[in-house]
């Protein structure tokens, strides 16, 4: 995967309110990553479905100490390079407690030579998924914040739309840059999209490979949407109209160019399995080979107001 420096497998998870950690490390994966020169930042997650469990853990100093002890032991045993903290669906009322937990954990990880990153959502969103993060405080503590600029339109919403419009991504990155140094900010981008029907009902999630397959399997209407920086795809299936905003090389080119434009620390993607082999050379070009935004040019010309495949 050209351009990739770090892999972050989901290997550590808060198991209970006492701070015990469920460990899912794959030694074969470590061998694979090491043979390619990748750093391994194991992802440490809470239970996304249970904010009450997270609340009880965050407010128990003994539980926090126990989790720190176990994470340090696992990191040393497997020679990890870093930890990526991914706590989501946290009560807004626990915002300060979450920051305090990260404040306690990070110095121990640093003392063991580990790099510390944390995933955060955009500042202005729902209480449990966005407002639970003190971006400014967390930016002072960890080495990197990964801004998850995706799920702009989400499964439980009542309106169809892109997972990550380029205008929305840039707008939210700029908001976070008012609180976090640009050298600490990684731009999170999606390798997936959501499929909707023409009644704004969410159908499902598909990766980049499946998007390309749909273009070959169905007569599609393919229109360039300049606001999203994506092609809007419509087609008929099972008697209804299906719609999605496509993540492809052109959309990834525009999103990764924002890293150059805003002089960010880099990019992070969710997730590797949803990407295509062709996306890695593109990211390598934009993030490694180019010397700055002034050297960047789009890989394709704007397709104009509409393009139809039938």
- What is the pTM for the complete model shown? 0.95
Radius of gyration of the chain (CA): 20
Is residue 39 classed as helix, strand or coil in its secondary structure?
strand
Q: Give the burial class of 304: count Cβ atoms within 10 A of its Cβ; 0-12 exposed, 13-18 middle, 19 or more buried.
A: exposed
Mean pLDDT of 117-124: 97
Q: Give the burial class of 51: count Cβ atoms within 10 A of its Cβ; 0-12 exposed, 13-18 middle, 19 or more buried.
A: buried
Mean pLDDT of 286-295: 96
Mean pLDDT of 66-85: 99
Domain positions in the chain: 6-190+247-299
Q: How many CA atoms lie within 13 A of 104 on its CB side?
A: 18
Residue 103 vs residues 83, 106, 148, 206: alpha-carbon distances, Å: 14, 6, 21, 37
79 CB-near residues (< 8 Å, 6+ apart): 30
Q: What is the pLDDT of residue 306?
A: 41
Q: What is the pLDDT of residue 156?
A: 87
Q: What is the pLDDT of residue 304?
A: 39
Mean pLDDT of 55-62: 99
- Cα angle 75, 41, 211 (rounded to 5 degrees) comes to 145
Mean pLDDT of 108-136: 98
Per the CB < 8 A criterion, the answer to whether 276 and 212 are in contact is: yes
**Is the pLDDT score of 307 beyond 60?**
no
Q: What is the pLDDT of residue 157?
A: 86
DSSP state of 18: T
Picking from 6, 179, 37, 151, the residue whose alpha carbon sits closest to that of residue 88 is 151
**Is the pLDDT score of 128 beyond 60?**
yes
Digit-coded pLDDT (tens) for 232-276: 999 999 999 999 999 999 999 999 999 999 999 999 999 999 999
Residue 223 has phi, psi (to 5 degrees) of -125, 130
Picking from 144, 246, 136, 127, the residue whose alpha carbon sits closest to that of residue 186 is 144
Digit-coded pLDDT (tens) for 163-211: 999 999 999 999 999 999 999 999 999 999 999 999 999 999 999 999 9
Q: What is the pLDDT of residue 308?
A: 45
**Is the pLDDT score of 231 beyond 90?**
yes
Which of the four CATH numbers 3.90.550.10, 3.40.50.740, 3.20.20.70, 3.20.20.80 does domain 6-190+247-299 have? 3.20.20.80
In percent, how much of the chain has pLDDT > 90? 95
Mean pLDDT of 70-97: 99
- Cis preceding-peptide flag for 37 (omega within 30 of 0): no
For all residues of the chain together, what is the average pLDDT? 96
């Amino acid at each position: 995967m050209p351009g990739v420096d770090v892999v972050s497998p989901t290997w550590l998870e808060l198991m209970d309110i006492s701070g015990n950690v469920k460990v899912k490390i794959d030694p074969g994966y470590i061998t694979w990553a090491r043979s390619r020169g990748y750093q391994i930042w194991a992802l440490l997650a809470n239970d996304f479905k249970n904010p009450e469990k997270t609340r009880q853990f965050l407010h128990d100093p003994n539980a926090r100490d126990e989790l720190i002890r176990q994470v340090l032991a696992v990191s040393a045993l497997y020679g990890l390079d870093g930890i990526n903290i991914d706590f989501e669906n946290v009560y807004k009322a626990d915002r300060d407690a979450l920051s305090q937990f990260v404040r306690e954990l990070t110095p121990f990880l640093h003392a063991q030579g580990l790099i510390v990153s944390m995933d955060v959502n955009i500042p202005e969103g729902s209480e449990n998924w966005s407002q639970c993060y003190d971006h400014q405080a967390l930016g002072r503590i960890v080495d990197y914040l990964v801004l998850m600029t995706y799920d702009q339109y989400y499964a439980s919403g009542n309106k169809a739309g892109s997972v990550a419009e380029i205008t929305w991504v840039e707008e939210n990155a700029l908001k976070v840059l008012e609180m976090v140094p640009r050298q600490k900010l990684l731009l999170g981008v999606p390798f997936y999209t959501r499929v909707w029907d023409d009644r704004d009902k969410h159908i499902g999630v598909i990766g980049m490979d499946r998007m390309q397959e749909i273009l070959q399997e169905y007569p599609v209407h393919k229109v360039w949407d300049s606001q999203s920086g994506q092609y809007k795809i419509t087609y008929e299936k099972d008697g209804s109209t299906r719609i999605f905003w496509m993540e492809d090389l052109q959309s990834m080119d525009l999103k990764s160019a924002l890293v150059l434009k805003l002089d960010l620390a880099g990019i992070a993607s969710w997730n590797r399995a949803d990407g295509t082999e062709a996306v890695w050379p593109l990211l390598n070009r934009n993030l490694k080979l180019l010397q700055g935004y002034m050297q960047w040019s789009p890989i394709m010309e704007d397709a104009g107001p509409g393009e139809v495949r039938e």
